[in-house]
Amino acid sequence: MEVFKKIKTESWEALSSRPKIDDNDLNQTVLSILDNVKQNGDEALTAYAKKFDKADLNEFLVTETEIRIANKLVSEELKQAINIAKQNIEKFHNSQFVEEEVVETTSGVECWRRSVGIEKVGLYIPGGSAPLFSTVLMLGIPAKLASCKEIVLCTPCNETGEINPAILYTANLIGINKIYKVGGAQAIAAMAYGTKTIPQVYKIFGPGNQFVTKAKELVQQNGIAIDMPAGPSEVLIIADKTGNPAYIAADLLSQAEHGEDSQVILLTDNENLLNRTLIELNKQLVELPRVEIAKKALLNSKAVLLNNIDECIAFSNLYAPEHLIIASNSSSDYIDSIVNAGSVFLGNYSCESAGDYASGTNHTLPTNGYARNYSGVSLESFQKKITFQKINKEGLKTIGPSIEIMAEAEELYAHKNAVTVRLKDITNV
């Protein structure tokens, strides 16, 4: 990690920038994949499975037999852990149901909203170096709660055409049965455009590598909704003298091991804590199985010494992190000052891993500074809001003249007339 001490505020903007990725070649590569799948459907998917996954696939849909086999391969210990996470995630997302009130905006005019589940949604679950069965919970549970009628799940297989058993177990546990052995940008294309085998969906969710991320970005331009813009995973930790260096180092590394393009940031007003954390970081780093990935991520990462915690909060709000940890015994004092963050972890025992797995909050979060204007995935992400209004004669008599005046001012006379003809009938009754 690169270390910066007592930097001036005018330098914060440059210091808070993410690593730049040259995506010109990426853009063209992904566009060609999207076009191929759009034109050739399952034939293109078969070719990409051979090319990228080294798998000869005759069918993409996972069978009931494969699910039964997978269920037997998952240990009882892991099943129990997944079930605990499932219960907590269900409880948190169930709490997000809101009963919409009917509002009488003026006498005789009633307005309200109704939440309706998006009919067809697609879930992308990474299954390569880190098979993210936890993401099945994070996306599948709110999709089910929202009563989405059709849930399509795509995830890559290995060379023998098998999907990680924990992914299949988790999907089956929450009632998802349309599971397809398709990964990468081609999976996004299949869900966006539909093929003979894979249904087209209305909105696509889920994390992925740079190819998946770019594919989601491009299909959005064609009218397919996505959960949010995405980039490499990140964490920012604000720590004072009451922070625990070993905990902080562990949290930094938990994000660094996600990928070589991940970024981790430490902000503190205590130089002693900064130095002790860096020592602890190097000690823990060499023990990681994914040490080479974490090392490369740390090259993109920074430890910054600022004058006080208020400056750390201000820097964090500028950076807008995906995950924000406040490693302090006084963490709750800063809640109202946090305006840009995907998910916040308060205190020395609120590790980011808890949100990734089992606390109940959703781990699908805005990255790359998008926490300034996007929320993480929630129950509402799988719903759309339909507004209703009911106006009686009294209501139209009350607001009708204002509508007529406004419509005429905009020179939309048919709009005005839609009111006028009704008011004449009401007056003549």
CA distances from 367 to 140, 254, 290, 315 (A): 21, 16, 22, 16
Q: Within 13 Å, how many C-alpha atoms sit on residue 68's CB side?
A: 3
**DSSP-assigned letter for residue 146:** T
Separation between Cα atoms, residue 309 and residue 349, nearest integer Å: 19
Closest by alpha carbon to 234, among 321, 149, 170? 321
Chain Cα centroid distance, residue 226: 9
Closest by alpha carbon to 362, among 72, 93, 4? 93
Separation between Cα atoms, residue 65 and residue 90, nearest integer Å: 27
> Given 93, 258, 323, 363, which residue is catalytic?
323
Provide the β-strand partners of residue 326. 238, 346
Closest by alpha carbon to 139, among 129, 149, 127, 153? 153
Separation between Cα atoms, residue 378 and residue 141, nearest integer Å: 10
Separation between Cα atoms, residue 21 and residue 33, nearest integer Å: 20
Separation between Cα atoms, residue 187 and residue 45, nearest integer Å: 8
Q: Are 136 and 153 in contact (CB under 8 A)?
A: yes
CA distances from 134 to 259, 261, 358 (A): 17, 21, 9
Q: Are 208 and 126 in contact (CB under 8 A)?
A: yes
Helix (H, G, I), strand (E, B) or coil at 234: strand
> Given 322, 352, 363, 404, which residue is catalytic?
322
Helix (H, G, I), strand (E, B) or coil at 111: strand
CA distances from 57 to 179, 341, 372 (A): 14, 42, 42
In degrees, to the nearest 5, what angle opens at C-alpha 379 toward C-alphas 375 and 383?
Answer: 100
Provide the β-strand partners of residue 323. 235, 343
Which residue has tokens 């709000």?
A: 317
**How crowded is residue 307: how many other Cβ atoms within 10 Å of its Cβ?**
11
Q: Which is it for the CA torsion 167, 169, 171, 177, positive or negative?
A: positive
Q: Is 323 one of the annotated active-site residues of the chain?
A: yes
**Active-site annotation, residues:** 322-323
